[in-house]
């Protein structure tokens, strides 16, 4: 791709997924006319996925909302001015709070909120202004169990160790498909290139998954596993290491305490005992464990598969234990903690947006994690009468009707609210229920600083790029909308009222820009604190069009553990999760099919299906069924079938594929947009159904409240059309 003649170019960072690839946006007369990879970006170095190349089409989408909308009495929407819209939102939410208490209002934050630093830094102020504990978000669908594990072991949910891809000799990838996700809780543009480099230097990649994914197809070895049994597999490998005397006890003793307590529980996880349950024979379990120990460097990485299955917390815990027992925790080539320029753990702990289990939900007593309650109980809180019943709702860049289990129930519950306001660019399955929809300006009209995902990078570095385009006179940035709403609710610029009062007395204005600048300058590379001698500040970064590379990951456990005795290898809550796995192994196995999800490089959850460039080509919405199961059930390739779970039954299109193991079926997340075909023409015309319609909202992992999205028991049968009876 080359720059058009006569155009100027500006750097940007793609905000559409975790990788954050560098872009160059070409402009003519201040108007963007093209986008291409930024070869000089310090992190992505010229890589960009198909989503990033569609960012201009996202901004130009004719179905994108451009002005605030208010729902009329007949259910249609009409434009409303910003001042009137914000006044109405503040008035209605304040009235609900005054009459029914603070918890009568709730807020839901979608994933996009952590991709935009401004919105991420303002969300705490909005929550404080509402005064509610009814905060929900996407994390309980995919990261809750990891947050609980890290919080219990290291003292912060955001002390997340990532694979040191640049130096590892052996990567075991469990229930993750980074070639489709671009890395997840492992921020790594051009994952394919980084994995290829492992193989090219003679390393080894083993993928353990119920489906032969895109990542599995390029790996050295693929190991097929029964969904939801990852914790048993990992703990069985740990037992192999203990029995073989291959545990690095010197490093364990230097890093923390309590390993003996988990060691005492490993008798339940002998490889011969878990083999049938996991679908992996004992010899393979033993071989893989010893390969990890024998490799010069090695690391175990897991993500969505184990992270939102039945024993998600135990699975995440077992990954951390295995890396530590191998001596790979905080070691080059192993699982290492980034040294971010803006330290998320510091910000989270300062604003008390860290930890878990500090309170529970009203109806089902489900636990809080990093300040959010499990989204599966949002419908309960709306439908169940009594003190604290949710009557008002704010959603930000989220679509829980599509992304939370049993979304059909959530859709019905939203109609019972007294008032709902959504900050979003589309009328989607969720926002169509809102009384007000407030659209943010295009992403290119805002600057970008690596905030959240700087804490998960596989190589240290930071970028701060200015806005590419000027916003229109009637456009507002997402954080400005949240700030304006916060003020209408009587709140201040931070989540700490005492700090707000002091700042007001001093006449100091607090904006996300000011907070980010302060965090950068006082961070490990900032010009107020110089152990690395970089002296970074906003001005310097803006002058570096592609950001600055700060080198490979370095040992930093001492800065990522917040307990006086070091790592806690045996927190009581996590030991309980291990006991639950041991009990499950002893139970009678179910003969039902197990439903798992899948994702595609061109898709991002549920919100990018209205762009023709990302949904064109072969349909990707079918239910994958193994040939053996298809023959047994009488299913035919390309035909319709009926799938049934405890809460739902509906039609799906079958694709017969040996990518999935026998007993497993796979359906992608985020499809099924028929309800919004009047608002999103392209998405509404797509085939497919919403996988989460079959996911049971009552089934959660009890320690983290994590939704159980993988390994869901279902039944599938062919749809038989009765022929008319002939007359004699």
d(CA 78, CA 642): 39
Residues with Cβ within 8 Å of residue 461, at least 6 apart in sequence: 42, 43, 341, 450, 454, 547, 548, 549, 550
Predicted pLDDT of residue 155: 96
**Nearest to 391, CA basis, from 106, 49, 152, 19:** 106
Q: Where are any strands of DSSP class E within 440-519?
A: 448-449, 460-462, 464-465
Residue 571 belongs to domain with CATH number: 3.40.228.10
Residue 282 falls within a domain, yes or no?
A: yes
Question: Do 496 and 570 fall within a single domain?
Answer: no
In-domain check, residue 239: yes
Q: Which residue has the tokens 């994933």?
A: 111
**What pLDDT score was predicted for residue 506?**
66
Residues 214 and 76 in one domain: no
User: Is 83 exposed, middle or buried (CB count within 10 Å of its CB: 0-12, 13-18, 19+)?
Assistant: exposed
The b-or-e profile of 267-285 (16+ CB within 10 A means b, else e) is ebbbbebbbebbbbebebb
403 and 306 in one domain? no
Q: Is the alpha carbon torsion for 132, 134, 136, 139 positive or negative?
A: positive
pLDDT value of position 727: 47
* Residue 583 placed within a domain: no
Residue 5: the pLDDT is 74
Is residue 51 domain-resident? no
| 38 in any annotated domain | no
Q: Are residues 254 and 311 in the same domain?
A: yes
pTM exceeds 0.85, yes or no: yes
The yes-or-no verdict on residue 680 having pLDDT over 60 is yes
Same domain, 331 and 282: yes
* CATH number of the domain that residue 483 is part of: 3.40.50.740
In a domain, 425, yes or no: yes
Among 252, 342, 298, 302, CA closest to 146: 302
Condensed to tens digits (0 to 9), the pLDDT of residues 42-90 reads 999 999 999 999 999 999 999 999 999 999 999 999 999 999 999 999 9
Same domain, 323 and 378: no
Query: Average pLDDT in the 236-249 region?
Result: 98
Domain co-membership, 379 together with 486: yes
Res 508 pLDDT > 90: no
Asked whether residue 359 falls in the same domain as residue 392, the answer is yes
The radius of gyration of the chain's CA atoms, rounded to the nearest angstrom, is: 25
Cβ contacts of 600 within 8 Å, gap of 6 or more: 180, 620, 668
Same-domain check for residues 493 and 426: yes
Show Cβ contacts of residue 206 under 8 Å, excluding neighbours closer than 6 positions: 170, 171, 172, 173, 219, 220, 221, 222, 223, 288, 291
Q: Evaluate whether residue 450 is within a structural domain.
A: no
Question: In this structure, are 326 and 364 located in the same domain?
Answer: no
Q: What is the torsion angle, in degrees rounded to the nearest 10, for the CA atoms of residue 158, residue 353, residue 87 and residue 362?
A: 120
Q: What is the mean pLDDT of residues 671-678?
A: 94
CATH code where residue 697 lies? 2.40.40.20
* Least reliable range by pLDDT among 161-175, 234-248, 521-535, 673-687: 521-535
Q: How far apart are CA 26 and CA 28, in angstroms?
A: 7
pLDDT given at position 113: 76
Q: For the chain, what percent of residues have pLDDT higher than 90? A: 84
Mean pLDDT, the chain, whole residue set: 93
Longest dimension (CA), the chain: 95
Whole-angstrom distance, CA of residue 652 vs CA of residue 196: 36
pLDDT of 728 reads 42
Q: Tell me, what's the pLDDT at 350?
A: 81
Domain contains 58: no
Partnered with residue 28 across adjacent β-strands are 31
Count of domains observed in the chain: 3
Residues 569, 504: one domain? no
**Is residue 270 domain-shared with residue 208, that is, in the same domain?**
yes
pLDDT score of 131 more than 60? yes
pLDDT surpassing 60 at residue 725: no
d(CA 469, CA 319): 44
pLDDT band at 505 (very low <50, low <70, confident <90, very high): confident
3-state SS assignment for residue 675: helix
The domain in which residue 637 lies consists of 591-718
């Amino acid at each position: 791709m080359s720059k058009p003649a006569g155009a100027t170019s500006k750097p940007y960072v793609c905000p559409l997924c975790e990788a954050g690839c560098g872009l160059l946006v070409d402009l003519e007369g201040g108007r963007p006319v093209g986008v291409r990879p930024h070869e000089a970006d310090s992190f992505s170095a010229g890589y960009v996925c198909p989503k990033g190349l569609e960012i201009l089409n996202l901004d130009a989408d004719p179905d994108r909302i451009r002005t605030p909308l208010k729902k009329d009495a007949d259910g249609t929407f009409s434009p409303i001015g910003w001042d009137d819209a914000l006044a109405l939102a503040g008035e209605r939410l304040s009235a609900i709070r005054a009459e029914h208490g603070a918890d009568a209002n709730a807020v839901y934050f979608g994933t996009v909120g952590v991709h935009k630093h401004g919105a991420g830094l303002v969300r705490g102020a909005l929550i404080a202004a509402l005064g509610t504990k009814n905060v929900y978000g996407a994390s309980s669908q995919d990261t809750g169990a990891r947050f609980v594990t890290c919080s219990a072991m290291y003292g912060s949910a955001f002390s997340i160790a990532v694979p040191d891809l640049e130096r590892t000799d052996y990567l075991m990838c469990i229930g993750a498909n980074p070639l489709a996700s671009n890395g997840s809780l492992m921020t790594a543009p051009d994952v394919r290139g980084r994995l290829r480099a492992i193989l090219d230097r003679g390393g080894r990649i083993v993928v353990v998954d119920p489906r032969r994914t895109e990542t599995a197809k390029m790996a050295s070895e693929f190991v097929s596993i029964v969904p939801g049994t990852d914790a048993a597999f990992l703990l069985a490998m740990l037992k192999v290491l203990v029995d073989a005397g291959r545990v690095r006890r010197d490093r364990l003793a230097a890093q923390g305490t309590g390993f003996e307590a988990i060691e005492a529980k490993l008798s339940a996880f002998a490889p011969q005992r878990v083999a049938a349950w996991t679908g992996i024979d004992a010899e393979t379990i033993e071989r893989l464990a010893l390969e990890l120990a024998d490799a010069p460097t090695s690391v175990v990485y897991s993500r969505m598969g184990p992270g939102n299955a039945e024993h998600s917390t135990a699975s995440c815990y077992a990954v951390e234990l295995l890396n530590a027992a191998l001596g790979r925790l905080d070691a080059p080539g192993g699982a290492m903690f980034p040294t971010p320029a803006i330290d998320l753990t510091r910000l989270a702990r300062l604003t008390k947006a860290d930890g878990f289990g500090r309170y529970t939900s009203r109806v089902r007593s489900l636990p809080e994690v990093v300040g959010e309650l499990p989204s599966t109980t949002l419908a309960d809180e709306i439908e169940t009468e009594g003190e604290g019943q949710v009557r008002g709702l704010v959603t930000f860049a989220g679509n829980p009707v599509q992304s939370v289990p049993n979304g059909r129930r959530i859709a019905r519950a939203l109609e019972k609210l007294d008032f709902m306001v959504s900050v979003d660019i589309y009328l989607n399955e969720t926002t169509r229920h809102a009384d007000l929809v407030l659209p943010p300006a295009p992403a290119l009209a805002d600057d970008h600083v690596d905030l959240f995902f700087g804490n998960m990078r596989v190589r240290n570095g930071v970028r701060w790029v200015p806005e590419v385009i000027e916003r229109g006179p009637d456009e507002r940035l997402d954080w400005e909308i949240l700030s304006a709403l916060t003020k209408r609710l009587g709140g201040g610029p931070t989540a700490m009222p005492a700090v707000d009062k002091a700042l007001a007395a001093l006449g100091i204005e607090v904006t996300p820009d000011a907070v980010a600048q302060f965090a950068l300058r006082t961070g490990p590379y900032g010009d107020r604190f110089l152990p690395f001698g970089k002296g970074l500040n906003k001005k310097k970064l803006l002058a570096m069009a592609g950001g600055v590379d700060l080198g490979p990951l370095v040992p930093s456990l001492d800065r990522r553990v917040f307990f006086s005795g070091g790592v806690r290898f045996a927190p009581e809550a996590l030991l309980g999760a291990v006991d639950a796995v041991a009990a499950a192994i002893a139970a009678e196995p179910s003969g039902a099919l197990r439903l798992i999800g899948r994702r595609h490089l061109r898709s991002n959850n549920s919100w990018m299906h209205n762009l023709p460039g990302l949904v064109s080509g072969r349909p990707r919405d079918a239910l994958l069924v193994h040939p053996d199961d298809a023959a047994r059930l009488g299913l035919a390739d390309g035909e319709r079938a009926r799938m049934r779970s405890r809460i739902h039954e509906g039609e799906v299109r079958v694709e017969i594929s040996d990518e999935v193991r026998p007993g497993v079926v796979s359906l992608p997340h985020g499809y099924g947009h028929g309800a919004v075909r009047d608002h999103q023409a392209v998405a509404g015309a797509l085939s497919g159904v919403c996988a989460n319609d079959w996911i049971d909202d009552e089934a959660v992992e009890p320690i983290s409240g994590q939704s159980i999205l993988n390994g869901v028991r279902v039944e599938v049968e062919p749809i038989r059309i009765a022929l008319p009876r002939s007359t004699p």
